[in-house]
Amino acid sequence: MPSAGLAPPDREEWASLYTAFAILRKETDRALSPWRLTVPQASVLALLAEAGRPLPVSRLARLLLQESPSVTSLVDRMCDSGLVERDKDSRDRRIVLVKLTGKGRRMHDTLRATAAAFNDELFGVLSADERTTLKELLQKLAYRNIQRIR
């Protein structure tokens, strides 16, 4: 039920956000296709590279907003491709850690080197101030609503 004083949902707001998301997703899929990577696989590479250390599957699942079984399957495919490896946590052998391989690190570095041009191509229609504002607004929307899917 809507809160008192709030306007009803704006169809154009939803349509614009969905259209922008769909464009970004499809263009990202297209940009990753030469490397035969999916968006979730590229995200795992980026998360592991940024962390600078192995991460538990459960942590990757939380960061990707996915369920652990889905991420386990994703990691399986990435292990088969030689991009990541599994390891046991030395303190708790029940915890499966995922770490980048040399091939995974090189793949991440290659993707990162091409990401700037890709971002400029997609977001180049916005000024630097508009890009900053967009980022701030999307972060606010995400942070205020993340509990809805957890």
Question: Does residue 100 belong to any structural domain of this protein?
Answer: yes
| Alpha-carbon distances of 140 from 19, 118, 135, rounded to whole Å | 20, 24, 9
Contact criterion met (CB below 8 Å) for 48 and 55: yes
3-state secondary structure of 5: coil
Question: Does residue 35 belong to any structural domain of this protein?
Answer: yes
For residue 145, the one-letter residue type is N
Question: Does residue 6 belong to any structural domain of this protein?
Answer: no
Give 42-61 pLDDT, tens digit per residue: 999 999 999 999 999 999 99
Question: Does residue 12 belong to any structural domain of this protein?
Answer: no
Q: How many domains does the chain have?
A: 1
Q: Is 63 exposed, middle or buried (0-12, 13-18, 19+ CB in 10 A)?
A: middle
Question: Does residue 111 belong to any structural domain of this protein?
Answer: yes
Q: What is the pLDDT of residue 10?
A: 78
Give 79-119 pLDDT, tens digit per residue: 999 999 999 988 988 899 999 999 999 999 999 988 888 88
Q: Does the structure show a pLDDT above 60 at 3?
A: no
Which tokens go with 88?
């046991």
The CATH number of residue 104's host domain is 1.10.10.10
Band the pLDDT of 148: cuts 50, 70, 90. confident
Q: Does the structure show a pLDDT above 60 at 1?
A: no
pTM of the model: 0.84
